[in-house]
Amino acid sequence: MFGEENLSFNLRDERLKAVLLATLMSLAAMVIILKFTNTNISWSMISQIDSKFLLLGLILHMLSWIFYALRLRLLASFAGHKISFRLSLKSTLASNFLAAITPSSVGGEPLRIKILADDGMSYGSAAAVAVGERLLDSLFFVAALAFSLIFTSFFTGFGLRIGAIFLVLLILLLTFLWELFVRPDRIARLMRWAKRKTGNRPFLVFLEQEIWLFREAGIELAKETLRRTPMVVALTILIWMSDFLVPSALLVGMGAKPSFLLSITAQIILAIIGLLPLTPGGSGVTELSMSYLYSMFVAPTLLGPLVMLWRIITYFSNIVVGAAFAGASINYMRKRR
């Protein structure tokens, strides 16, 4: 009993430290941006923004949660497991919290996989769903960035470099999945070698079982996704466009042009940067990158307020709302253990 309580306190302490670190790094970056863009003017702009557009920005971000939960539920059904919308939304919000305090936006996937596994899915199938989600997002980023760069030529230098690095990583992931799905004999040989070298440990037996379940679920996911491509693509677009339109809503609230295409292009680049394991939740890096990208088409006096409000809506709301769901999920797992 004492050990479990100790574990609970340790987990809470670790989460609290991560949240504090991410918050401090984000605030430090915002202070730097405000200093370079005239702090007094920035605070004046924040106080004058139309509250209706602040609310619109928050609603758009919350819609991305809903669309994400709907897509997760759909992909889980493709893998042969029906989950409720409530569980799907809980998984989405809890994983958003973990992603906000780990050094990559994919940091929430282990918790999402665990929540799905606790609902009856195998770990292999849950992992296949998580990978499927990330593949859909990645393909959307590549296609959307390529399209956007054609019409926003002054983003070409920075945007192309980010896009090229991301494309290489995506190709490596697709190559691994191709080997797993098309040449499973190689994976089987590797697992036999590993079990022979380690004395057929139970962990390796479990791992091999989950790899084949992952493969089986992945094949079903791929078939069903291709069969129902319009619905899956539509949900993926809705997830990201809801979030990508938040800065434009804020710009209108500040009395500026929404700059839809330029803003969306910048948001795609920021989303790709967010996948890199740099700092907790991309704190510091994200704010400074956004300030640099938006300085190309937004007045300097608006940069500080825009970055600050955008980060509060799309990042700190994930921490505040997701914390309760993540805490409840982790406590439930601890009790089961």
- Written as one string, the DSSP assignment of 142-154 is HHHHHHHHHH-GG
Residue 165, pLDDT above cutoff 80: no
Q: Are residues 283 and 29 in contact, defined by beta-carbon separation less than 8 angstroms?
A: yes
Residue 116: closest CA among 213, 188, 191: 213
How many other C-beta atoms are found inside a 10 Å radius of the C-beta of residue 254?
20
Element (H, E) at 42: helix 39-48
pLDDT band at 147; cut points 50, 70, 90: confident
Q: Which of 63-72, 189-198, 268-277 has the highest mean pLDDT?
A: 63-72
Lowest-pLDDT range, 24-33, 46-55, 103-112? 24-33
Q: Are residues 214 and 124 in contact, defined by beta-carbon separation less than 8 angstroms?
A: yes
Range 228-248 average pLDDT:
93
Residue 120, pLDDT above cutoff 70: yes
CA angle 101/103/104 to nearest 5° reads 100
Residue 252, pLDDT above cutoff 90: yes
Mean pLDDT of all residues belonging to the chain: 79
Could you give the residue ranges of the DSSP H alpha helices within the chain?
Answer: 2-36, 39-48, 51-78, 85-101, 109-118, 123-151, 156-182, 184-198, 202-227, 229-244, 246-253, 260-274, 285-294, 300-311, 317-336
Lowest-pLDDT range, 6-15, 46-55, 204-213, 306-315? 6-15
pLDDT band at 6; cut points 50, 70, 90: very low
CA dihedral in degrees (162, 304, 151, 168; nearest 10)?
10
* pLDDT > 70: percent of the chain: 74
β strands within 206-283, DSSP E:
none
Q: Are residues 115 and 90 in contact, defined by beta-carbon separation less than 8 angstroms?
A: yes
Q: Are residues 149 and 160 in contact, defined by beta-carbon separation less than 8 angstroms?
A: yes
Q: Are residues 274 and 298 in contact, defined by beta-carbon separation less than 8 angstroms?
A: no
Element (H, E) at 72: helix 51-78
pLDDT recorded at residue 125? 84
Structure token pair of residue 255:
């009395």
**Dihedral of alpha carbons 295, 298, 301, 304, sign:** negative
- Predicted TM-score (pTM) of the model is 0.80
